[in-house]
Chain A
Amino acid sequence: MKPWLLTIVRNCFLTVVSQTKRKQDVPLPADNEIDLADPALIAGDPDPEAAIMKREDHRRLNDLLAALPAEFREVLVLREMEELSYGEIAQITGAPIGTVMSRLARARALLKKNWHLSAEGSRHALQ
């Protein structure tokens, strides 16, 4: 039932996006501001610095995922987070299986490359 439901969700989302003519501006939850209610900052956490670094990694990955072209991001999220099969992803996106496989390969390679680039960038920023 999950692929069936996700197909509907995807279609509704695309309809909303096209109606509001904001194709370039899809809001994603941004949390680059340090949240004062963050458990890491409340006394008791043995290593608040590590916790903040971890948060930073989460934010960086979120940004990289958001920056992927939509057709790459979609197959990657459906495969790695929703853990769907190629056939189910093909059904949801309407792309043939072969396309799903090649997009997935390119999405993974691109994310890996960008992750390393941004890791170097953030190290330089600290120096």
Chain B
Amino acid sequence: MLCNEGLRLQACFDGEIDAGAVLEVERHLQGCADCAALLTDLEATRQLIRRDAPYYRAPAGLREGIMARFDREDGVQTPPPARLSFSRRFLSGAASGAGITALAAALVFFLAVPRPDPLAGDLMNAHLRSLMSDHLIDVVSSDRHTVKPWFAGHTDVSPPAANFEKEGYKLIGGRADYVDGHRAAVVVYRHGLHIVNVFAWAASTEKLPGEVTQKGYHIACWNSADLNYCAVSDTGLDELLDLVRLIKRQ
């Protein structure tokens, strides 16, 4: 892989980036022979695996046994996400003949499923985008007196950028980004091997998603002193919330 756009192309191939970025990748593909060849390889490898690799499916009895145990343990253990239990209950209920009950249950589940929040999706895309190519950090520094003034010159807002290295969250820099049409300042932390992006932009009337988990990313949002903040990472939720507490306390 000679071109450094390779990881972005792969992410595009895997359906992990938003429409705007897809257009950029397509434009890049027209002029880059390396990436065009890489795309052909990605397609060939996928076809090979999906066509020729053996897929071992769990026997029906095992599958049903496990699902039945989930039903028994529902309410005691952490329940699996509602989106999937909806289809599972619906299908198993319909199959066992308890159609009406299942349909009612399914409707309840359906109504209870939170709609995907566009802002959360946008934050997730911005986070993922920052991990690709070279756009994680515009200003590299672990010094709050470097990062905060940089924001003043490059973004509309200038959130505090403290270093919590002692607590395990090292300030590694800042960048300018766009979230949901706003120019946002992003404070970037490293926690172990994980990157945490803390987005900040001038608060308007939009509703913040609070705490959500989408596709393995945790997002925690709050509002403080006329700024909206959202922290995004693939680190554990508790660890992300620890950082949020540190930022709120400063």
Distance in angstroms between the alpha carbons of A61 and B80 in the assembled complex: 34
Q: Write out, one digit per residue, whether chain B residues 63-101 have a CB within 8 A of any chain A CB (1) or not (0).
A: 000100000000000001100110000000000000000
Which A residues are CB-close (under 8 A) to B214?
87
Interface 1/0s, chain B 109-146, versus A by CB < 8 A?
00000000000000010001001100000000000000
Query: In this assembly, does B16 line the interface, its C-beta being within 8 Å of a C-beta of chain A?
Result: yes
CB distance from B173 to the nearest CB of A (A): 15
Q: Which residues of B contact A98 (CB under 8 A)?
A: 131, 195
Give the secondary structure class of A's interface: helix
Q: What number of A-B contacts does a CB cutoff of 8 Å give?
A: 94
Chain A residues near B84: list those with CB within 8 A: 1-2
Docked Cα-Cα span, A112 to B49, in Å, equals 10
| Minimal Cβ-Cβ distance residue in B for A91 | B216
A residues 41-100 with Cβ under 8 Å of B? 57-58, 61-62, 65, 76, 79-81, 85-91, 95-99
Inter-chain CA distance A104–B1, complex, in Å, is 13
Known: A80-B50, A101-B131. A108 touches B14 (CB 8 A): no
A14 at the interface (CB under 8 A from B): no
Q: Do residues B16 and A58 form an inter-chain contact, with CB atoms below 8 A?
A: no
B216 adjacent to A108 (CB under 8 Å): no
Report which of A65, A96, A104, A115 forms a contact with B234, defined as CB distance below 8 A. Answer: A96
| Complex: A97 Cα to B194 Cα, angstroms | 8
- B10 at interface by CB-CB < 8 Å: yes
The answer to whether A87 touches B216 (Cβ under 8 A) is: yes
Across the two chains, which residue of chain A brings its CB closest to B85?
A1
The answer to whether A3 and B195 touch (CB under 8 A), given A101-B7, A108-B42, is no
Q: Which residues of A contact B234 (CB under 8 A)?
A: 87, 90-91, 96-97
Q: A90-B234, A96-B234, A105-B1 in contact; A79/B14 too (CB < 8 A)?
A: yes
Residues of chain B lying within 8 A (CB to CB) of residue A80 = 45-46, 49-50, 53
* Residue among A81, A91, A96, A112 making CB contact with B55, cutoff 8 Å: A81
Residue B242 CB within 8 A of the other chain: no
**Smallest Cβ-Cβ distance to B56: which chain A residue:** A29
- Check: B41 CB closer than 8 A to any chain A CB: yes
Say yes or no: B16 contacts A96, CB within 8 Å: no
Q: How far is the CA of A5 from the CA of B206 in the complex (A)?
A: 35
- Closest CB in chain A relative to B24 CB, distance in Å: 17
Q: Which of B41, B54, B131 contacts A109 (CB 8 A)?
A: B41
Decide: A97 near B54, CB < 8 A? Known: A86-B14, A87-B215, A104-B10. Answer: no
Known: A97-B234, A101-B11. A85 touches B16 (CB 8 A): yes
- Asked if B42 and A65 sit within 8 Å, CB to CB, the answer is no
- Which partner residue on chain B sits nearest A3 by CB separation? B216
A-B contact pairs, 8 of them (CB 8 A): A4-B80, A4-B81, A58-B52, A80-B45, A81-B55, A96-B234, A98-B195, A99-B193
B contact set with A: CB distance below 8 Å: 1, 6-7, 10-11, 14, 16, 41-42, 44-46, 48-50, 52-56, 66, 80-81, 84-85, 124, 128, 131-132, 193-195, 214-217, 234
Top-6 shortest CB links A-B: A87-B216, A87-B215, A1-B80, A91-B216, A1-B84, A80-B49
